[in-house]
Amino acid sequence: MYKNAFPTFMSYRPYLITVSGNILAKEGKNYAQNWVARTCWNPNAHFSRGVYDEHRHSIAGELIFDKSMRAAPYAIYVANGAVGIAADAVEGTDLSCAPGYYPAFAYFNEYIKEIRDVLQDPVSERVSVPFYNGLYCSAFSVLELFLCDFLLCGVFGKDVCFRRALETLGISDNTDQFDIEKRTKDIIYHKVFHRFSEIKKLYKSILGFPFPDSTELEVFLHKRHNIVHRFALSSIDRMRVCNASYVDVMALIETICKFVDGLKGVCGLTDEEMRCLELNW
C-alpha cells in the first residue's frame, strides 16, 4: 500500500485527479498531496492504462505510474478502485502522501541528484560538448520545474493562496470549479520561470513569500541562453563560444541548491519534513 508520510491536509479547493479504476505504481517515486482509495488492494488484478480527460482532470480506467507517467505534486488522487504498488515493481518504487510544499522539494532533490550522478560517468572528448551543454540546460529546467511545482502546491493547498492566484492571474470565480482550476494551472504552467524578476512578483502576490536572491543564478542564465538559442555562440559578438564544462555544471547545481534551500525556511516545512528531505538528499 502507499506510504502516508505526513498528516493529511485538505485545502478549500484541492486539485483532485479522479480515477475511475485503480492507481498502480510500477516504477519511480511518486509524491502527491494525498491518495484516496475506495476499495482494498488486489495485487493480482489485471491493469490497462486509462484515458485522461484534461478538462475534468479525470482518468477513465487505470492510472499506471512508470517511466512515462509521474504523479503531480500539487494534486490529490482519488481512485474509485484501489491504490497500490505492483508486485513486480522496480525496486524503490513508492507512492508518498506528502501535503504542502514537501512534494516540490522531494521531486527537486530526486531530479537534481540524477544530474549529479550522470556527471560522474566517463565522457569521451567527442561527446563532451553536447553532454555538458545538455546537463547545464537540464539543471535549469529542474529549477524551473521546482518553482512551478512549488507555486502550484501553494495555490491548491491553501485557500488564501488560491484566492490571491485568481486575483493576480485575472481569473473570474465562476461556478465551474474544474474550469477555474484548469485555467489557473494552465496560466501558471505557461509562465517562464527563469524570468526571476517576474516570478519574484508572482510569489510575493500569491504566496506571500520572500523570493531568494537570484543574482548568482542570473549570471549562469546568460550561458544557458547562449547554449539554447545560439548553439553556444555569444550573444554579444557571435564569435566567442560559450560551451559548458563539468566545472560549469557543478557550479550551477551548487548555486541552484543554495537558492532552493532559501525557500525551505519560509514555507512552513515541519522538522520531520526537513529531516526526510535531508535523508533523501
Ramachandran angles phi, psi of 72, nearest 5°: -80, 125
Cβ count near 249 (within 10 Å) = 24
Reported confidence tier of residue 265, pLDDT bands at 50, 70, 90: confident
Per-residue confidence band for 13, with pLDDT thresholds at 50, 70 and 90: low
pLDDT single digits (tens) 120-141: 999 999 999 999 999 999 999 9
Q: State pLDDT tens for residues 218-227.
A: 999 999 999 9
How far apart, in whole angstroms, are the C-alpha atoms of residue 33 and residue 153?
8
Helix (H) or strand (E) holding 53: strand 51-53
Of the spans 42-51, 195-204, 261-270, 271-280, which averages the highest pLDDT? 195-204
- Laid out side by side, the sheet with 83-85 consists of 63-65, 23-25, 83-85
Share of the chain above pLDDT 70, in %: 91
Return mean pLDDT, the chain. Answer: 88
**175/18: higher pLDDT:** 18
Q: Tell me the pLDDT band of 240, cut-offs 50, 70 and 90.
A: confident
What is the model's pTM?
A: 0.90
Grid cell listed for 34: 494525498
Q: What is the largest CA-CA distance in the chain?
A: 64
The DSSP code sequence of 54-118 is TTTTEEESBEEEBTTB---TTEEEEESS-EEE-TTPPTT-EEEE--TTHHHHHHHHHHHHHHHHH
Q: Is the pLDDT of residue 71 over 70?
A: yes
pLDDT in the model for residue 44: 58
Read off the pLDDT band of 49 (50, 70, 90): confident
Give residues with Cβ within 8 angstroms of 173, minimum separation 6.
Answer: 166, 180
pLDDT at position 247: 97
CA distance 52 to 69: 12
Query: Which helix (H) or strand (E) is 17 found in, with range?
Result: strand 15-19
What's residue 12's pLDDT?
52
| pLDDT value at 73 more than 60 | yes
How many whole angstroms separate alpha carbon 148 and alpha carbon 271? Answer: 24
